[in-house]
């Protein structure tokens, strides 16, 4: 089953930041002359979203196409999530993930029970996640959880029977961040959603961080492996000689993608097309020993046309002098997350049939 897209959508896409050359790609390029594969999107119905390892290439590109449509369409009139309730249970601080999920639910006419601080739950009295999960079954249709503990997913899933979306579990994963990352890249280069034509240029990715222990970096890299035909290689900039860890190293090796590890971004900058940064400043005292080998600003020798992604929050590894330059794709990445999460919520909650029949 497939639905066609409205060639004349009613809502303008989000505008770039005021007085800025930041890269803010128009979403239409992702769905022009394209059909939405509702069968593929239907695979998400009733499923938990725990790891980027669970995604297929087609699922990532179809979620991006639906997100692009939602970015241009005034969808609230169709009440897609009417009657659905999500709990956002955040046992760790968040600016973007919780509020963008809540914004996505509300724009789809769904309802939210918001727990912005896990300390406000029975956890403060020693209650287990297993018991909290059992309670959530009665309160909602979906749980979106962030937690400081990597094993928190297994614990809540012992009793949870409604779908769970992992909004970041310790040093584990952040799969919906990866969807937002790749949505930004797919809007920037819509051809990434298609098979690579013979001789077409490939992208060189740079990653500043440690995929083995930084959840956003890990989920981004795992998703990047699905796009391996479009990728010339991955350069990881890390203090660690083995920044992947055993599991991710196996994934990268199995994908057969070329990679290299360095501890100085400056020697690679002139050939990187995409630079994925992370909040290495939050690593604490060890960061004090890091220097300009891990920082970017408007004076850095970035390749012309190169874009920077950062899941944010940032400290001084990503200087604000880059905000108004065309290298800034990170604001588009953050803004687009609302539409990616709308697309995912509609798919997981089985409400794709509420999409208008467009022609
Ligand atoms: N990208 C991201 O996870 O941001 P928050 O920590 O603000 O949710």
Q: What would the pLDDT profile of 227-247 be if each residue is shown by its tens digit?
A: 999 999 999 998 888 899 888
Cα–ligand 1 centroid distance for 104 (angstroms): 15
3-state secondary structure of 319: coil
Cα–ligand 1 centroid distance for 282 (angstroms): 13
Share of the chain above pLDDT 90, in %: 78
Band (9; pLDDT cuts 50, 70, 90): low
- Residue 339 pLDDT > 70, yes or no? yes
Q: What is the pLDDT of residues 46-56, one digit of tens each?
A: 999 999 999 99
Is the CA virtual torsion 57, 338, 97, 129 positive or negative?
negative
Band (181; pLDDT cuts 50, 70, 90): very high
Q: Is the CB of 95 under 6 A from ligand 1?
A: yes
- Residue 286 pLDDT > 90, yes or no? no
Cα–ligand 1 centroid distance for 146 (angstroms): 10
Residue 221 in contact with residue 212, Cβ under 8 Å?
Answer: no
Nearest CA to ligand 1 atom 4: 96
Mutate-to-test residue for ligand 1 from 95, 99, 166, 334, highest number of ligand atoms within 8 A of CB? 95
Residue 161 is predicted with a pLDDT of 98
Residue 7 is predicted with a pLDDT of 45
- Residue 42 pLDDT > 70, yes or no? yes
C-alpha gyration radius of the chain: 20
Closest CA to 266 of 232, 235, 311, 230: 235
Q: Is the CB of 333 under 6 A from ligand 1?
A: no
3-state secondary structure of 213: coil
Is the CA virtual torsion 266, 205, 207, 327 positive or negative?
positive
CB half-sphere exposure, 66, CA atoms < 13 A? 30
Band (358; pLDDT cuts 50, 70, 90): low
Higher pLDDT, 11 or 197: 197
Q: Is the CB of 176 under 6 A from ligand 1?
A: no
Residue 31 in contact with residue 61, Cβ under 8 Å?
Answer: no
Residue 320 contacts by C-beta under 8 Å, 6 or more apart in sequence?
none
Band (270; pLDDT cuts 50, 70, 90): very high
Cα–ligand 1 centroid distance for 238 (angstroms): 21
User: Which token pair is 204?
Assistant: 């060189």
Nearest CA to ligand 1 atom 1: 311
- Residue 284 pLDDT > 60, yes or no? no
Nearest CA to ligand 1 atom 3: 97
Question: Ligand 1 atom closest to Cα of 100?
Answer: 8
Q: Is the CB of 177 under 6 A from ligand 1?
A: yes
Higher pLDDT, 257 or 282: 257
Q: What is the pLDDT of residues 113-123, one digit of tens each?
A: 999 999 999 99
Cα–ligand 1 centroid distance for 96 (angstroms): 5
Higher pLDDT, 289 or 72: 72
Band (34; pLDDT cuts 50, 70, 90): confident
Q: Is the CB of 99 under 6 A from ligand 1?
A: no
Q: Is the CB of 312 under 6 A from ligand 1?
A: yes
pLDDT, mean of residues 253-279? 92
Question: Ligand 1 atom closest to Cα of 92?
Answer: 6
- Domains in the chain, please, with CATH? 188-330 (3.40.50.1370)
- Count, residues in the chain: 359
- Residue 6 pLDDT > 80, yes or no? no
- Residue 17 pLDDT > 70, yes or no? no
Question: Ligand 1 atom closest to Cα of 174?
Answer: 3
- Residue 172 pLDDT > 70, yes or no? yes
Band (283; pLDDT cuts 50, 70, 90): low
């Amino acid at each position: 089953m497939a639905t066609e897209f409205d060639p004349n959508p009613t809502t303008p896409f989000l505008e770039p930041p005021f007085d800025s050359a930041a890269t803010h790609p128009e979403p239409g390029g992702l769905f022009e002359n394209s059909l939405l594969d509702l069968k593929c999107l239907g695979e998400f119905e009733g499923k938990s979203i725990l790891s980027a390892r669970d995604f297929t290439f087609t699922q990532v590109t179809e979620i991006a196409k639906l997100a692009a449509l939602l970015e241009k369409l005034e969808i609230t009139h169709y009440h897609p999530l009417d009657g659905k309730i999500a709990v956002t249970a955040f046992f760790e601080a968040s600016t973007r993930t919780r509020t963008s999920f809540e914004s996505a639910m509300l724009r789809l006419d769904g309802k939210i029970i918001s727990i912005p601080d896990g300390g406000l739950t029975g956890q403060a009295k020693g209650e287990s996640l297993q018991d909290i999960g059992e309670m959530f079954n009665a309160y909602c249709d979906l749980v979106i959880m962030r937690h400081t503990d990597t094993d928190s997913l297994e614990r809540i899933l012992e009793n949870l029977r409604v779908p769970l979306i992992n909004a970041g579990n310790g040093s584990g994963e952040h799969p919906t961040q990866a969807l937002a990352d790749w949505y930004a890249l797919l809007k920037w280069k819509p051809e990434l959603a298609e098979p690579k034509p013979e001789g077409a240029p490939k992208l060189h990715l740079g990653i500043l961080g440690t995929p083995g222990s930084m959840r956003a970096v890990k989920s981004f890299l795992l998703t990047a492996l699905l796009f391996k035909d479009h990728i010339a290689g991955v350069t990881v900039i890390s203090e660690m000689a083995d920044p992947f860890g055993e599991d991710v190293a196996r994934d990268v090796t199995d994908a057969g993608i070329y990679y290299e590890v360095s501890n100085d971004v400056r020697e690679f900058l002139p050939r990187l097309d995409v630079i994925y940064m992370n909040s290495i400043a939050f690593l604490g005292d060890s960061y004090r020993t890091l220097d300009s080998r891990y920082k970017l600003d408007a004076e850095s020798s970035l390749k012309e046309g190169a874009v920077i992604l950062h899941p944010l929050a940032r400290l001084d590894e990503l200087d604000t002098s880059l905000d108004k330059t065309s290298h800034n794709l990170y604001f588009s990445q953050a803004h687009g997350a609302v539409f990616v999460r709308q697309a995912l919520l509609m798919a997981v909650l089985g409400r794709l049939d509420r999409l208008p029949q467009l022609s």
